[in-house]
């Protein structure tokens, strides 16, 4: 028994083939689905090596946030006996890792925890992170570990009133063969020229005060603002100018000469990090730049 003529059969096969092709075309060429955006969780700081020390140790920088206003914090310019300024910077890194939301959206924060790593190694025997228990108790060693491995006082090696010999308390110290002769100072210079920070904070010890900075043209108004902001919040004395003896080639003063506000925060001893006080100072600074919406 025949249900279809051969003509009807061909028509049916054609319709069937057209349907199959149509379905195939629909499946093959339909628009790709629009991806649903998912929130990307912050993966922590961007870590960079900004230079290497005389003995070849990495000078590291950790940057959190992506805002246009850029604050940079530096520990350990005077290395060994100011190891507490390095430990403070590491504790600040821990805080930022645990509290990334503490950085306002318009800000970016860089921490350079150890600007003179050879001198820290000399008193701790540790590469990178260390604890207070690792630090030598040899006071002669601690005092001599202010300098880099060339015997240069790095905070006399920057380009503001630079001289080959400079002063530290009642001593004459080497300031290098020229401004930025030392790789550690050069690393900071390159970081500054590459990133153009809005303001910088340098941690030292043990004068127990916050200092402004200046080179030839007086103190920048913003420098006074951030000195007072940090000092008031942290409970340190604010000191406009350091006049106990002449200093040349200081990093903060070089920054003043190129228009970047910079302050020095001196902890009260060579052993304590005064974390609660400094956290208040840091957060006040973040708030200052959040509220005032500083341009780049
Ligand atoms: Zn110092």
Q: What is the SS3 assignment for 256?
A: helix
- pLDDT class of 291 with cuts at 50, 70, 90: low
| Residue at 31 is within a domain | no
| Residue at 41 is within a domain | no
Structure confidence at residue 243 (pLDDT): 78
| Residue at 233 is within a domain | yes
Complete DSSP assignment for the chain: --SS-HHHHHHHHHHHHHHHHHHHHHHHHSPPPPPPP-PPPP--PEEEEEEE-TT--EEEEEEE---SEEEEEEE-TTTGGGHHHHHHHHHHHHHHHH-GGGS-TTEEEEEE--SSHHHHHHHH--SS---GGGS---HHHHHHTTS-TTSB-GGGSSSSS--SEEEETTEEEE--SSTT-SHHHHHHHHHHHHH--SEEEEEEESS-EEE--BSSS-B-HHHHHHHHHHHHHHTPEEES---SS---S-HHHHHHHTT--EEEEEESSSS---HHHHHHHHHHHHHHHHHHT---
Q: How far does the centroid of ligand 1 lie from the alpha carbon of residue 42, in Å?
A: 34
CA distance 203 to 225: 18
| Residue at 147 is within a domain | yes
Cis peptide before 206 (omega within 30 of 0): yes
Q: How far does the centroid of ligand 1 lie from the alpha carbon of residue 168, in Å?
A: 10
List the structure tokens of 154.
Answer: 């790095």
Q: How far does the centroid of ligand 1 lie from the alpha carbon of residue 266, in Å?
A: 8
**Greater confidence, 239 or 242?**
239
Q: What is the CATH number of the domain that holds 79?
A: 3.40.630.10
Q: How far does the centroid of ligand 1 lie from the alpha carbon of residue 3, in Å?
A: 102
Q: How far does the centroid of ligand 1 lie from the alpha carbon of residue 278, in Å?
A: 17
| Residue at 8 is within a domain | no
DSSP 8-state class, residue 231: H
Structure confidence at residue 13 (pLDDT): 52
Q: How far does the centroid of ligand 1 lie from the alpha carbon of residue 88, in Å?
A: 14
Domain residue limits at 164: 47-292
| Residue at 117 is within a domain | yes
In this structure, which residues have their CB less than 5 angstroms from ion ligand 1?
78, 82, 204
User: Is pLDDT at 282 greater than 70 in this prediction?
Assistant: yes
Q: Is 249:288 a contact under the CB 8 Å cutoff? A: no
Structure confidence at residue 217 (pLDDT): 92
Structure confidence at residue 44 (pLDDT): 86
Structure confidence at residue 26 (pLDDT): 47
Q: What is the SS3 assignment for 288?
A: helix
* Number of domains the chain is built from: 1
pLDDT in tens, 83-130: 999 999 999 999 999 999 999 999 999 999 999 999 999 999 999 999
| Residue at 34 is within a domain | no
| Residue at 270 is within a domain | yes
Structure confidence at residue 229 (pLDDT): 98
Look over the chain and give the mean of its residue pLDDT values, rounded to a whole number.
Answer: 89
Q: How far does the centroid of ligand 1 lie from the alpha carbon of residue 46, in Å?
A: 27
């Amino acid at each position: 028994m025949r249900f279809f003529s051969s003509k009807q059969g061909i028509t049916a096969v054609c319709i069937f083939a057209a349907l199959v092709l149509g379905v195939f075309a629909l499946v093959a060429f339909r628009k790709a689905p629009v991806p649903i955006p998912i929130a990307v969780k912050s993966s922590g700081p961007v870590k960079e090596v900004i230079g290497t020390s005389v003995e070849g140790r990495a000078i590291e920088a950790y940057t959190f946030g992506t805002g246009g206003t850029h604050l940079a914090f530096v520990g350990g310019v005077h290395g060994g006996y100011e190891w507490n300024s390095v430990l403070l910077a590491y504790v600040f890194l821990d805080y930022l890792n645990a509290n990334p939301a503490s950085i306002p959206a318009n800000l970016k924060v860089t921490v350079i925890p150890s600007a003179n790593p050879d001198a820290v190694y000399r008193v701790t025997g540790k590469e990178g992170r260390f604890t207070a228990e690792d630090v030598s108790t040899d006071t002669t060693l601690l005092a001599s570990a202010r300098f880099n491995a060339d015997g240069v006082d790095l905070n006399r090696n920057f380009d503001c009133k630079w001289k080959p010999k400079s002063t530290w308390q009642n001593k004459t110290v080497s300031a290098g063969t020229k401004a930025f002769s030392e790789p550690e100072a050069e690393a900071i210079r390159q970081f500054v020229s590459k990133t153009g920070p809005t303001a910088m904070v340098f941690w030292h010890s043990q004068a127990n005060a916050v200092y402004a900075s200046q080179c030839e043209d007086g103190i920048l108004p913003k420098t006074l603002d951030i000195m007072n902001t940090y000092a008031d919040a942290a409970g340190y004395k604010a000191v406009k100018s350091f006049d106990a003896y002449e200093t040349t080639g200081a990093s903060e003063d070089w920054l003043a000469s190129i228009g970047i506000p910079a302050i020095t925060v001196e902890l009260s001893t060579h052993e304590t990090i005064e974390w609660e006080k400094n956290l208040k100072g840091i957060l006040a600074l973040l708030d200052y730049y959040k509220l005032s919406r500083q341009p780049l």
